[in-house]
Amino acid sequence: MHNHPILVLGGGQLGLMMAEAAIHLGVVVDRLDTANDKLMPGTSNLRVDTTLDFLVDRYAVITAEMEHLPDSGLVNGLRLSERWMNGSAFDILPGRNQQKRLLDEIGVHNAPWKMLHAQDDMLSAHDSLGETLVVKTTRGGYDGKGQWVVSRGDDQDIPASAFGELIAEQKVSFSREVSLVGARSEDGQTLFYPLAENHHHNGILRFSIAPAMGVGKLGDSANFANLANLQSEAERMLTKIMTKLNYVGVMAMECFEVDGELMVNELALRVHNSGHWSQTGSCVSQFNLHIRALSGVRFPQEPVYQPTLMINLIGCEYHPRWHQIDGVHCYWYGKERRAHRKLGHINMTGSTSFEIQQKADALRPLLDAEHQSMLDKALALINSH
């Protein structure tokens, strides 16, 4: 399969970063903007048609950078073609209810839940799941959108028309959120990054620290044993999921840590924001790994990792001096600025927490107050370990 062109459905930053990674592997990755069925320059820079026959003929592998695909003639045609990768994962995982049903079926622990067919189901959901629920749309919600945290009798913010396409989840009291990003090749080989610890604000990921134990904790043997247990548990869970779906590529598993055990929050069948740290913290980034899996390039045998702090740039102004600081890696997506929108991210990698602290100190004056407070929170966590 190596050298065969890949088509990614979607016009966002994830596909663009896949194309960038593909350059190093000699693989052509183009992108299709599903909003208007126009091909976007990837690594081939060719102007080509976007008829179904042409695309299926030109691309050996067709995948997507997003799970919620539009119901258009071209996209549906591509999904039915033999080039479409991971068909059952794309059929099942985008529906929260179907995803959770699959996890239950294969015995992977996830937040207890119930389908809400009608408003009346709220009562029985509270009875079985608890006084506070997290209600989520079965499709389309992300970054905290399409979600309501409700106490008993306090569900008036949920539009009545949404019932039938909602689930209620138990509100989990977690000690922290972690995610595992890993990949599976066509012949079943797997590779996992160390768990990352993730911090959200208003449902949006603000920063990730990898490895999840925090940087300074690396030398502490008791913590090392705990983290090693958590890591193998997470790998066992994600292997089970990817194997069940016969999945090829990178998948991300977001989890709650509850009393030292993992509970899946949700799965992303693609590269994931909580894996962006790997662009500088690993010798093989998640984008590179995804393209390797899709084009049959072997995984590295013993990838090297370095502790990394990734902070997301949300709704803020671009600062040209971000690109001037040594060892601070800024990725700016060139998107239109809007409040609460992910506009870029910054990676700080170092072999010690002190090195990361130094980079963060240089970056701090170039951030607005909100991002400074996120950075301080992340550093406090790193230094507390």
**Which residues of the shown chain bind ligand AMP in the complex (CB under 6 A)?**
111, 134, 141-142, 144, 169-172, 177, 200, 203, 254, 265-266
Tell the smallest beta-carbon distance from residue 296 to ligand AMP (Å).
32
Alpha-carbon span 62 to 78, nearest angstrom = 8
The 3-state secondary structure of 7-72, one letter per residue: EEECCCHHHHHHHHHHHCCCCCEEEEECCCCEEECCCCCCCCCCCHHHHHHHCCEEEECCCCCCCC
H/E run at residue 321? none
The string of DSSP codes covering 175-219 is: SEEEEEEEEE-TTS-EEEPPPEEEEEETTEEEEEEESTT-SGGGG
Tell the smallest beta-carbon distance from residue 133 to ligand AMP (Å).
8
Would you say 12 or 141 has its CB closer to ligand AMP? Answer: 141
Alpha-carbon span 263 to 134, nearest angstrom = 15
Q: Show the tokens assigned to 376.
A: 């301080």
CB 101 within 8 A of CB 117: no
Alpha-carbon span 110 to 93, nearest angstrom = 14
Tell the smallest beta-carbon distance from residue 274 to ligand AMP (Å).
10
Tell the smallest beta-carbon distance from residue 159 to ligand AMP (Å).
18
Tell the smallest beta-carbon distance from residue 203 to ligand AMP (Å).
4
Alpha-carbon span 175 to 193, nearest angstrom = 21
Would you say 217 or 272 has its CB closer to ligand AMP? Answer: 272
Would you say 75 or 89 has its CB closer to ligand AMP? Answer: 89
Tell the smallest beta-carbon distance from residue 57 to ligand AMP (Å).
38
Rg over CA atoms, the chain:
21
Tell the smallest beta-carbon distance from residue 254 to ligand AMP (Å).
6
Nearest to 1 by CA among 36, 17, 25: 25
Would you say 95 or 141 has its CB closer to ligand AMP? Answer: 141
CB contact burial 219-256 (16+ within 10 A = b; e otherwise)? eeeeeeeebeebbebbbebbeebbebbebbbbbbbbbb
Would you say 286 or 349 has its CB closer to ligand AMP? Answer: 286
Tell the smallest beta-carbon distance from residue 251 to ligand AMP (Å).
15
Tell the smallest beta-carbon distance from residue 166 to ligand AMP (Å).
13
Alpha-carbon span 180 to 114, nearest angstrom = 25
Would you say 207 or 322 has its CB closer to ligand AMP? Answer: 207
Angstrom CA distances, 86 to 67, 211, 219, 248, 297, stand at 11, 29, 40, 7, 17
Would you say 172 or 325 has its CB closer to ligand AMP? Answer: 172
Q: Show the tokens assigned to 384.
A: 């507390």
Alpha-carbon span 233 to 33, nearest angstrom = 38
- The overall longest dimension of the chain from CA atoms, in Å, is 58
Would you say 30 or 169 has its CB closer to ligand AMP? Answer: 169
Alpha-carbon span 325 to 347, nearest angstrom = 12
Tell the smallest beta-carbon distance from residue 232 to ligand AMP (Å).
23
Would you say 58 or 342 has its CB closer to ligand AMP? Answer: 342
Nearest to 265 by CA among 150, 195, 145, 172: 172
Would you say 19 or 168 has its CB closer to ligand AMP? Answer: 168
